[in-house]
A and B are shown apart, each in its own frame.
Chain A
Amino acid sequence: MSGAMRIGMTVNGTAQDHDVEARTLLVQYLRESCVLTGTKIGCDTSSCGACTVLVDGESVKSCTMLAAQADGAAITTIEGLAQGEQWHPVQTAFHEHHGLQCGYCTAGMVLAAVSLLDEIPNPTERDVRLGLEGNLCRCTGYHNIVKSVLAAAESMRAAK
């Protein structure tokens, strides 16, 4: 049994089309087939959230989704968040509020925050803490991450 198949999806606005084994995980597909290594593999057990990407706009742990399940979907990874030289407001807020230290969780944390703010544009601190419960950070202790997300929410509302 080879389980070989051809799948295609739009990743950061670019059409991707590759032959893969059916058992290929979305995170492997993004890192190895698309060569987009901004998405990190952390725990590999859908606990830590480092592999979070957006699938059709919603946060998903790409270590626990088959690439085949994302066939035809629109994916956003950390590489696709900025508009040219212009960072996404969540990226800017993480920079300004020191929302990262080693950076390993950051790509997933930022994409989880983007999805959260899409669902709750005006979150309370509790909304942010609950909304990021699927993302673990072992350096900053969350305080500055929460500050960053709240600041991003404010700047995104102001820009509307």
Chain B
Amino acid sequence: MIPAAFDYVRAATAAEAISLIGEHGDDAKFLAGGMSLLPLMKLRLATPTVLVDVGRVRDLSYVRDAGDHVAIGALTRHRDLETSDLLAEECGVLRAVAAQVGDNQVRHRGTIGGSVAHGDPASDLPAALLALDATFVVQGPAGTRSVAASDFFEGFLETTLAPDELLTEIRVRKSGATGFAYEKFNRRAQDWAIVGAVAVRVSGTAHVALVNMGSTPLRATAVETAIAQGASHADAAREAAVGTEPPADLNASAEYRVHLAQVLVRRALEAI
């Protein structure tokens, strides 16, 4: 399968990328690792007329200790997250979740920023970032703005990013080396989650987020409230699907996804 024809331009810096995308209009797309965009283009579900390749903007690939948080460049690859000593120490959950994205080959190419900007509710990292109350730094022609993860994801493959805005950095709280779990349920090791549940202990409370239980990654707020009010893990986990609208597809019915969410959230809570 071959993508529809497009023009390809390569940016050396974030500023150049934003200027190039501005020149080429709304049908231009940023290309990072391409692990989500290229399959869509091969299926002709996406037909951008211009690709602005940001894959070589090397100064957007880093994991840094920024004092009260960890700063991650948007073009940091999953491979670099799963082998990061800093993340192991300061934000173990992100390292563990990155290690479950796709397979080795995908993790050698795919980037955290690409995954977030793509906005697929079945992706692993966006839910983990939602659980961590991450902040996304976005650069556009008018300057830089910060968006809370809870305000970023607007719908299926839709985010608050304007076509000419580039996600440049992800900031996450220091949640420590332990006290987290990611329960991912799928049929083949390399697949997207049919349902996933991320749980992180944050200053005595549990933050819980769900993969593939709606059109965006979701916080399981009813579970978090129940835990805060002293409910047992089992009782709290029964609230896992409250407020969700799980999809039905070849892998699972909506009812089965509700069941999976409850079981996976219970396991995740028990593990933290």
Most chain A beta-carbon neighbours within 10 Å: one of B8, B35, B42, B104:
B104
A47 within 8 A of B: yes
| Choice from A21, A59, A134 contacting B5 with Cβ under 8 Å | A21
Total interface residues on B, CB under 8 Å, equals: 31
- For the complex formed, measure the closest distance between the CB of B161 and the CB atoms of chain A, giving whole angstroms: 22
- How far is B31's CA from A1's CA once the two chains are assembled, in angstroms? 19
CB pair B5–A23 under 8 Å, yes or no, is yes
Known contacts A133-B103, A134-B105; is-contact A22 B2 (Cβ 8 Å): no
CB pair A25–B53 under 8 Å, yes or no, is no
Comparing A61-69, A85-93, A97-105, the segment that makes contact with chain B is: A61-69
- How far is B187's CA from A56's CA once the two chains are assembled, in angstroms? 31
Which chain A positions have C-beta within 8 A of B58?
none
B49 within 8 A of A: yes
CB pair A22–B39 under 8 Å, yes or no, is no
| Choice from B102, B109, B190 contacting A65 with Cβ under 8 Å | B109
Chain B proximity mask over A1-22: 1 for CB below 8 Å, otherwise 0: 1110100000000000000011
CB pair B5–A65 under 8 Å, yes or no, is no
- For the complex formed, measure the closest distance between the CB of A31 and the CB atoms of chain B, giving whole angstroms: 13
Chain A proximity mask over B1-12: 1 for CB below 8 Å, otherwise 0: 111111110100
- 17 examples of A-B residue contacts, CB within 8 angstroms: A2-B5, A3-B8, A21-B5, A22-B8, A23-B41, A45-B1, A46-B105, A47-B190, A49-B103, A60-B105, A61-B106, A66-B8, A68-B10, A69-B34, A133-B188, A133-B189, A135-B103
CB pair A44–B105 under 8 Å, yes or no, is no
Which chain A positions have C-beta within 8 A of B3?
23
Chain A proximity mask over B101-113: 1 for CB below 8 Å, otherwise 0: 0111110110000
| Choice from A25, A115, A134 contacting B190 with Cβ under 8 Å | A134
- Report, nearest first, the 6 A-B pairs whose CB atoms are least far apart: A134-B103, A22-B8, A133-B189, A58-B108, A23-B3, A61-B105
B51 within 8 A of A: yes
B38 within 8 A of A: yes
Known contacts A66-B34, A66-B38; is-contact A130 B105 (Cβ 8 Å): no
Chain A proximity mask over B26-41: 1 for CB below 8 Å, otherwise 0: 0000010011001101
Nearest residue, chain A, Cβ from B1: A44
CB pair B39–A130 under 8 Å, yes or no, is no
- How far is B110's CA from A156's CA once the two chains are assembled, in angstroms? 29
B140 within 8 A of A: no
Which chain A positions have C-beta within 8 A of B103?
49, 133-135
- How far is B51's CA from A5's CA once the two chains are assembled, in angstroms? 13
Which chain A positions have C-beta within 8 A of B79?
58
| Choice from B4, B39, B102 contacting A134 with Cβ under 8 Å | B102
CB pair B53–A68 under 8 Å, yes or no, is yes
| Choice from A22, A45, A134 contacting B104 with Cβ under 8 Å | A134
A80 within 8 A of B: no
- How far is B51's CA from A132's CA once the two chains are assembled, in angstroms? 31
| Choice from A1, A58, A64, A116 contacting B7 with Cβ under 8 Å | A1
Which chain A positions have C-beta within 8 A of B6?
1, 3, 22-23
B55 within 8 A of A: yes
CB pair A44–B34 under 8 Å, yes or no, is no
Known contacts A22-B51, A65-B38, A66-B8; is-contact A59 B104 (Cβ 8 Å): yes
Which chain A positions have C-beta within 8 A of B109?
60, 64-65
**Known interface pairs A22-B7, A44-B1, A134-B106; 20 further A-B residue pairs with C-beta atoms within 8 A, sorted by A's residue number:** A3-B5, A3-B8, A23-B2, A23-B6, A28-B2, A45-B42, A46-B35, A46-B39, A46-B106, A52-B105, A55-B108, A58-B79, A59-B108, A60-B108, A60-B109, A61-B105, A61-B106, A69-B53, A134-B104, A134-B190
CB pair B42–A44 under 8 Å, yes or no, is yes
